[in-house]
């Protein structure tokens, strides 16, 4: 075939371990793979890229993505590839692209409408076929969401499962992993995961473990009951024998910031006992999810229609429970509305709840209930609840990887709307710029390993995550002295600085800092 690309004079960080020393070397690409690494100046190539003074490393693996529906709307994923992400792990927090039967499919209709997705499907093979037809800029891997399994088998009812329902969920999980899912994910603050108990999760985790899968979890609590939630993760790992991964590890709420040391003790003890417990984290002290996450769990029972009815008819009870959970009035200063659908409410995007209340002349809970009711729950929010010191401590842990916790968006088109969290555009360069170069929280080699080799090992991604001969040519070429994020909370749709070239399967998706429009991504089953 001949050499397609010769990348000359770069400093190669191979991503194989946290102590990988940058080595000045050339690298060649033939087809979709790395051909050679070394002194290759004698090679002839169709295209030569001068990487003098730049780092060459494996493409970044986003260990926590939510792009399953966004990619059907727009496979370009410009916000991800522009920050060096060449592979996404989707299906997190209990929500995946499949299986979708019955109530699980019905619950997604609003999201399909919002993204303009016309197709419908039930299984992963059907979804993968649609995705392959749509084409992608980056590689796609996924977990199977527990929420999908439970909603498909038992709807959104708040009750223990019958034996038949649990058998059905187990069969759906088995089919999902056999079709290519990497394991099981849970979202235990979201419906219907919030209605499940620990034995239910253990039973499913056993099935995933038998098939070589991982268990990734958005835990039951990241605040007041954080320690109990960590204990549940470890119990599930111990009882099922599965590798456990904690999604976006954090201590939410100032009164809970002190708990991080106890969290580390528990994770370290679990790993020392022979279990495998890892986590991911985005490099920001604000999180983001749907605004209705502030509602008590009983409000979710029965699905979206029932939840909307309760917003109209049971406000006093809702308000009582929310005020118990959030008694401090200042909490509404720390929640920002990031996205709405109705044009009449667009002025709220990018503003705090308190600010919107002042303009609208409403009390916080009245505003929240009215807005969720009008928007039929389709309201995104950003929650400023974390601590910078804790963030740094989490990033330093040897088992921590990097994730955006974001869907793939582009800089124009159907996904370019609202004021989404800047992590979808800047998470990985922010680590390299702020937490490596500026603050020295991590060494460059540590950061690259967390973004590449460690992630590939954790999620069983073969022949990626390391810059080595014969591996797929997923590569990032960046300037370690200039790489930085530019996305801000009030201006998120901004490309990072210092990322020159990004390759996916040997094809440049970013060249000289510009998106090429190529769609060489693959589904990693």
HSE, CB side, 13 Å, CA atoms: give it for residue 165: 17
Count of positions (residues) in the chain: 525
Sole residue written with tokens 């976006």: 248
Tens of pLDDT along the chain (525 residues) come to 589 999 999 999 999 999 999 999 999 999 999 999 999 988 999 999 999 999 999 999 999 999 999 999 999 999 999 999 999 999 999 999 999 999 999 999 988 988 899 999 999 999 999 999 999 999 999 999 999 999 999 999 999 999 999 999 999 999 999 999 999 999 999 999 999 999 999 999 999 999 999 999 999 999 999 999 999 999 999 999 999 999 999 999 999 999 999 999 999 999 999 999 999 999 999 999 999 999 999 999 999 999 999 999 999 999 999 999 887 778 999 999 999 999 999 999 999 999 999 999 999 999 999 999 999 999 999 999 999 999 999 999 999 999 999 999 999 999 999 999 999 999 999 999 999 999 999 999 999 999 999 999 999 999 999 999 999 999 999 999 999 999 999 999 999 999 999 999 999 999 999 999 999 999 999
pLDDT value at position 34?
98
* Furthest-apart CA atoms within the chain: distance in Å: 76
pLDDT value at position 114?
86
**281 vs 153: CA distance, rounded Å:** 31
**339 vs 319: CA distance, rounded Å:** 23
Domain ranges of the chain: 5-58+466-514, 61-285+385-458, 291-384
Q: Give 362's strand partners.
A: none
pLDDT value at position 1?
55
21: tokens are 């020393």
Q: Specify the CATH architecture of the domain 61-285+385-458.
A: Alpha-Beta Barrel (3.20)
69: tokens are 């529906």
Per-residue DSSP letters for 135-160?
--SSEEEEPEEHHHHHHHHHTT--SP
pLDDT value at position 2?
80
Is residue 493 within 8 A of residue 426, CB to CB? The reply is no
Q: How far is CA 238 from CA 150, 262, 267, 405, in A?
A: 23, 19, 12, 26
3.90.1150.10, 3.30.450.20, 3.40.50.1100, 2.30.40.10: which CATH number matches 5-58+466-514?
Answer: 2.30.40.10
Q: Look at residues 239, 487, 282 and name the one whose alpha carbon lies nearest to residue 401.
A: 282
Neighbours of 312 (CB within 10 A): 10
Walk across the sheet containing 286-290 and list its strands.
Answer: 286-290, 380-384, 335-339
486: tokens are 């530019």
**260 vs 246: CA distance, rounded Å:** 14
Q: Give 287's strand partners.
A: 383
Beta-carbon contacts of residue 488 (< 8 Å; ≥ 6 apart): 422, 494
């Amino acid at each position: 075939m001949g050499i397609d690309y010769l990348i000359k004079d770069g400093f190669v960080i191979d991503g194989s371990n946290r102590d990988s020393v940058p080595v000045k070397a050339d690298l060649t690409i033939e087809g979709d793979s790395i051909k050679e690494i070394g002194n290759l100046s004698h090679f002839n190539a169709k295209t030569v890229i001068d990487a003098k003074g730049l780092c060459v490393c494996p493409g970044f693996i986003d260990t926590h993505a939510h792009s399953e529906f966004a990619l059907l709307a727009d496979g370009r994923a410009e916000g991800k590839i522009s920050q060096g992400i060449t592979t996404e792990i989707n299906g997190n927090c209990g929500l995946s692209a499949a299986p979708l039967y019955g109530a699980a499919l019905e619950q997604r209709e609003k999201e399909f409408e919002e993204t303009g997705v016309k197709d419908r499907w039930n299984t992963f093979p059907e979804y993968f076929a649609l995705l392959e037809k749509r084409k992608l800029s980056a590689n796609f891997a996924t977990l199977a969401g527990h929420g999908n399994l439970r909603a498909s088998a038992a709807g959104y009812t708040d009750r223990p499962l019958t034996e038949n329902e649990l058998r059905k969920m187990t069969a759906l999980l088995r089919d999902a992993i056999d079709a290519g899912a990497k394991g099981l994910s849970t979202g235990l603050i979201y419906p219907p995961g919030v209605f499940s108990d620990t034995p239910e999760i253990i039973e499913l985790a056993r099935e995933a473990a038998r098939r070589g899968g991982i268990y990734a979890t958005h835990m039951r609590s990241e605040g007041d009951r954080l320690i109990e939630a960590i204990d549940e993760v470890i119990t599930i790992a111990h009882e099922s024998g599965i590798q456990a991964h904690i999604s976006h590890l954090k201590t939410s709420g100032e009164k809970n910031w002190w708990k991080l040391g106890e969290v580390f003790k528990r994770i370290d003890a679990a790993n020392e006992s022979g279990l495998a417990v890892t986590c991911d984290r985005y490099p920001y002290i604000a999180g983001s999810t749907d605004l209705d996450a502030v509602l008590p769990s009983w409000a979710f029972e029965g699905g979206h229609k029932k939840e909307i009815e309760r917003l109209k008819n049971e406000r006093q009870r809702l308000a009582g429970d929310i005020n118990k959970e959030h008694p401090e009035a200042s909490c509404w200063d720390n929640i920002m509305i990031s996205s709405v659908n109705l044009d009449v409410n667009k002025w709220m995007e990018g503003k705090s709840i308190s600010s919107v209340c002042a303009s609208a002349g409403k009390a916080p809970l009245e505003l929240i209930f009215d807005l969720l009711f009008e928007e039929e729950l389709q309201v995104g929010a950003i929650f400023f609840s974390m601590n910078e010191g804790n963030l740094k401590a989490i990033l330093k842990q040897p088992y921590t990887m990097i994730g955006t916790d974001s869907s793939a968006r582009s800089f124009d088109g159907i996904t370019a709307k609202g004021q989404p969290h800047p992590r979808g555009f800047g998470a990985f360069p922010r680590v390299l710029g702020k937490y490596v170069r500026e603050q020295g929280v991590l060494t460059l080699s540590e950061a690259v390993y967390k973004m590449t080799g460690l992630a590939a090992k954790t999620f069983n991604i073969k022949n990626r995550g390391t810059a080595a001969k014969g591996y797929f040519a997923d590569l990032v070429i960046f300037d370690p002295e200039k790489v930085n994020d530019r996305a801000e909370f009030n201006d998120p749709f901004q490309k990072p600085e210092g990322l020159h070239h990004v390759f996916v399967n040997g094809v440049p998706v970013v060249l000289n800092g510009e998106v090429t429009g190529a769609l060489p991504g693959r589904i990693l089953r």
